[in-house]
């Protein structure tokens, strides 16, 4: 008998899937305080949560029998993934269940914004009849700019097209042809901002997307344009947005998400007549809640009954014996993907994975899954997991090819990926060190030996004296400790690759200063 604790309210359709099975005892105990959860978690094999329960390291360490944590929804910010992984606890999420709901919420906000529905509603209920005050605009023949063309962005495009809107889309990571299949004209961010009457954002919150719409971007938008955020607070800079709305440059904004949630009642945005807001309701439909509850109940139930692992955020699906054997390679493959993703530029449209050496006698699907998860994670965050990574890549128009070849002459085992984007083709290879630790050993055929952990600086430079000294001095000046440095070159005096492991991240200013150093051609800061 497996004991399952459900600590946030979950729809009955999901719960019943588990309750119907004689092998499960399901206890629903919502509203537990952290101390209470810590006390009772000891008895349970599985924990199901939504976003309210905080599954901290302390809770995980107290959970002696816990095998799986299921999150009914996408975001995993309330689960300490690292602590769960260290304890061998599988964490699962349900990334696809709320796409349509969030898309429809975006459409609701788009229409409400165009026709001043919330403002007119309040006024009319007060007994007023101000028809001219609430004059709206049509969507027909207008341009909708969609930033982020993932699941939700593309569904929004389909619906907006049926309203007669022209769609411009910006997503530097999605192959152009995939977006074009949805009737989206792919453009740069600047063109999108300059030419759209309505702009809607559907990107995850990452270091790159935080404040991606700030003062400069808002000023590029057409005078009288309107903006919608149904993705995550912090993608649009609220202070800049307030300024733009007050100045009359933007005609309106509709927001479902905020930089701080819940926002305080005296938030300046709430004082503006042309701002309409909802309280993070994107996924709040009966259908989405049922979808995510069913998805997570099925995944967790199947896992407990040994029927395979699906939607795992921290564990690939293979049998325990093989997993033990391949684990160092799986870690290596994921790091290789993460590393390569941060070096590549442009829209990746082809991935070739080449395995060589002794490992080729095993089923290496788990390595390909980990590799692809690493490759997509910097841009998709929690919506990509081990299990959906390969199908997700294919649905985004990326061709994935896997080949096995006999042993490489120099390495007992080697995993090489060749990535093609619309801007470049690059290859990266990794192997395990004698201590079975991952090492990046080749970049574009140039030998290096870098440890893919923590913060790294990857530089292309001319192979001339003085570079190490200059880089070292700059790092020292900013109090950044260099833990390791490796170099590789094809021939003396030619182009070389230098990789530094550093103990703390560099700021964009330091990165710029590095780029100014003589004979450095390019520098990338990478986080693994």
**What is the number of other CB atoms lying within 10 angstroms of the CB of residue 405?**
12
Shortest distance in whole angstroms from residue 514 CB to ligand NAD: 22
Half-sphere exposure of 500 (CA within 13 A, CB side): 22
User: Which residues make Cβ contacts (< 8 Å) with residue 212, sequence separation at least 6?
Assistant: 147, 189, 201, 203, 235
The window from 97-105, 267-275, 315-323, 404-412 that contacts ligand NAD (CB under 6 A) reads: 97-105
214-224 b/e with 16+ CB inside 10 Å = b? beebbebbbee
232 is catalytic: yes
List C-alpha distances in Å: 244 to 22, 117, 248.
Answer: 59, 22, 6
DSSP bridge partners of 416: 354, 429
Part of the chain binding ligand NAD (CB under 6 A), chosen from 81-89, 144-152, 321-329, 491-499: 144-152
Q: Which contacts qualify for 323-330: CB closer than 8 Å, 24 or more apart?
A: 323/366, 325/362, 326/359, 326/362, 326/364, 326/366, 326/367, 328/432, 328/436, 328/437, 328/438, 329/359, 329/364, 329/367, 329/413, 329/415, 329/432, 330/366, 330/367, 330/370
Q: Does 416 bind ligand NAD (CB under 6 A)?
A: no
Site for ligand NAD contains 225 (CB under 6 A): no
| Residue of 380, 393, 432, 448 interacting with ligand NAD (CB under 6 A) | 380
Q: Which phi and psi angles does 15 have, rounded to 5°?
A: -60, -40
> Is residue 174 close enough to count as binding ligand NAD by CB under 6 A?
yes
- Should residue 232 be labelled a site residue for ligand NAD when binding is judged by CB under 6 A? yes
* 114 part of the interface to ligand NAD, by CB under 6 A: no
Helix axes 467-477, 508-516, angle to 10 degrees: 150
Please select the residue that binds ligand NAD; options are 45, 171, 197, 217, rule is CB under 6 A.
171
397 vs 488, which CB is nearer to ligand NAD?
397
Which of 11, 53, 99, 314: binder of ligand NAD (CB under 6 A)? 99
Distance CA(23)–CA(20), nearest Å, equals 9
Residue 159 known to be catalytic: no
Taking the CA atoms of residue 433, residue 436, residue 442 and residue 446 in that order, the dihedral angle to the nearest 10 degrees is 0
The minimum distance between CB 386 and ligand NAD, in angstroms, equals 15
Nearest-approach distance from CB 109 to ligand NAD, in angstroms = 10
Quote the least distance from Cβ 154 to ligand NAD, whole Å: 8
Q: Which of 82, 190, 261, 273 is catalytic?
A: 261
Chain-centroid distance of CA 472 in Å reads 33
Strand residues in 323-411 grouped as ranges (E): 348-357, 399-405
Helix (H/G/I), strand (E/B), else coil: 266: coil
Residues 185-224 that bind ligand NAD (CB under 6 A): 202-204, 206, 208-209
Q: Exposed, middle or buried: residue 454 (CB in 10 Å: 0-12, 13-18, 19+)? A: middle
Stretch that binds ligand NAD, among 278-286, 326-334, 482-490, 515-523 (CB under 6 A): 278-286
Q: Which of 230, 241, 250, 353 binds ligand NAD (CB under 6 A)?
A: 230
Rounded Cα–Cα distance for residues 256 and 230 (Å): 5
Q: Is 280 assigned a catalytic role?
A: yes
C-alpha 167/C-alpha 112 separation (Å) is: 19
Residue bearing tokens 């975006």: 106
Contact 68, 45 (CB under 8 A): yes
* Residue among 11 and 98 whose Cβ is closer to ligand NAD: 98
* Separation between Cα atoms, residue 116 and residue 137, nearest integer Å: 9
> Of 2, 24, 44, 173, which one interacts with ligand NAD (CB under 6 A)?
173
Report CA Rg, the chain. Answer: 25
Smallest gap from Cβ 479 to ligand NAD, in A, equals 30
Does residue 150 bind ligand NAD (CB under 6 A)? yes
Q: Which of 232, 310, 347, 439 is catalytic?
A: 232
154 versus 226: smaller Cβ distance to ligand NAD:
154
Q: Are strands 413-421 and 348-357 parallel, antiparallel or unpaired?
A: antiparallel
Coil/strand/helix, residue 163:
coil
Instruction: Report the nearest approach of ligand NAD to the CB of residue 360 (Å).
Output: 32
Among 50, 71, 142, 151, binds ligand NAD (CB under 6 A): 151
Instruction: Select from 37, 100, 149, 398 the one that contacts ligand NAD (CB under 6 A).
Output: 149
- Comparison of 295 and 463: residue with beta carbon closer to ligand NAD: 295
Q: Is residue 98 a contact residue for ligand NAD (CB under 6 A)?
A: yes
Query: Of the listed 151, 202, 280, 354, which one is catalytic?
Result: 280
CB of residue 184 vs ligand NAD: minimum separation in angstroms? 11
Binding of residue 421 to ligand NAD (CB under 6 A): no
Among 2, 24, 170, 377, binds ligand NAD (CB under 6 A): 170
383 touches ligand NAD (CB under 6 A) = yes
CB-side neighbour CA atoms (13 Å) of 492: 1
Shortest Å, Cβ 343 to ligand NAD: 16
Chain position whose Cβ is nearest to ligand NAD: 150
Nearer to ligand NAD (CB atom), residue 356 or residue 388: 388
Binding site for ligand NAD (CB under 6 A): 74, 98-99, 102, 147-153, 170-174, 202-204, 206, 208-209, 230-232, 256-257, 280, 282-283, 379-380, 383
**Catalytic center residues:** 232, 261, 280
């Amino acid at each position: 008998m497996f004991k399952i604790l459900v600590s946030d309210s979950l729809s009955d359709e999901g719960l019943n899937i588990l309750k119907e099975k004689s092998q499960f005892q399901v206890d629903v105990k919502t509203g537990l305080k952290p101390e209470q959860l810590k006390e009772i978690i000891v008895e349970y094999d599985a924990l199901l949560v939504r976003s309210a329960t905080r599954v901290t390291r302390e809770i995980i360490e107290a959970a002696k029998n816990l095998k799986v944590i299921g999150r009914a929804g996408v975001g995993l910010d309330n689960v300490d993934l690292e602590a769960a992984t260290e304890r061998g606890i599988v964490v699962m999420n349900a990334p696809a269940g709320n796409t349509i709901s969030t898309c429809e919420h975006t459409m609701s906000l788009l229409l409400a914004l165009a026709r001043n529905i919330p403002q007119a509603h309040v006024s009319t209920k007060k007994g007023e009849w101000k028809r001219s005050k609430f004059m709206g605009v049509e969507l027909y023949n207008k341009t909708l700019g969609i930033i982020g063309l993932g699941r939700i962005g593309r569904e929004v495009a389909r619906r907006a097209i049926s309203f007669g809107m022209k769609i411009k889309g910006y997503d530097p990571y999605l192959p152009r042809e995939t977006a074009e299949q949805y009737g989206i004209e792919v453009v740069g961010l600047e063109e999108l901002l300059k030419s759209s009457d309505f702009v809607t954002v559907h990107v995850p919150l990452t270091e790159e997307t935080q404040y991606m719409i700030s003062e400069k971007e808002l000023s590029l938008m057409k005078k009288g344009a309107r903006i919608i955020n149904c993705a995550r607070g912090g993608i649009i800079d609220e202070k800049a947005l307030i300024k733009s709305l007050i100045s009359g440059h933007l005609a309106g904004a509709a927001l479902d998400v905020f930089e701080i949630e819940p926002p305080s009642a005296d938030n300046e945005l709430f004082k503006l007549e042309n701002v309409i807001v909802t309280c993070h309701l994107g996924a709040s439909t009966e259908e989405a809640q049922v979808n995510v509850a069913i998805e997570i109940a099925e995944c967790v139930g199947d896992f407990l009954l040994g029927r395979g692992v699906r939607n795992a955020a921290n564990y690939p699906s293979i049998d325990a014996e093989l997993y033990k054997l391949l684990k160092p390679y799986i870690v290596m493959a994921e790091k290789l993907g993460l590393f390569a993703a941060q070096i590549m530029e442009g829209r990746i449209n082809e991935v070739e994975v080449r395995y060589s050496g002794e490992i080729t006698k095993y089923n290496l699907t788990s390595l390909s899954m980990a590799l692809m998860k690493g490759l997509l994670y910097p841009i998709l965050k929690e919506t990509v997991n081990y299990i959906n990574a390969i199908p997700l890549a294919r649905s985004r128009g990326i061709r994935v090819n896997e080949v096995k070849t006999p042993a490489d002459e120099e390495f007992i085992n080697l995993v090489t990926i060749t990535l093609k984007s619309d801007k470049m083709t690059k290859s990266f290879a990794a192997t395990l060190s004698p201590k079975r630790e991952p090492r990046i050993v080749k970049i574009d055929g140039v030998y290096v030996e870098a440890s893919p952990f923590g913060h790294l600086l990857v530089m292309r430079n001319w192979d001339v004296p003085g570079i190490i000294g200059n880089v070292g001095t700059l790092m020292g000046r900013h109090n950044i400790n260099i833990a390791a440095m490796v170099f590789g070159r094809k021939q003396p005096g030619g182009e070389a690759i230098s990789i530094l492991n550093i103990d703390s991240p560099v700021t964009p200013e330091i990165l710029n200063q590095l780029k100014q150093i003589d004979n450095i051609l390019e520098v990338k800061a990478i986080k693994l």
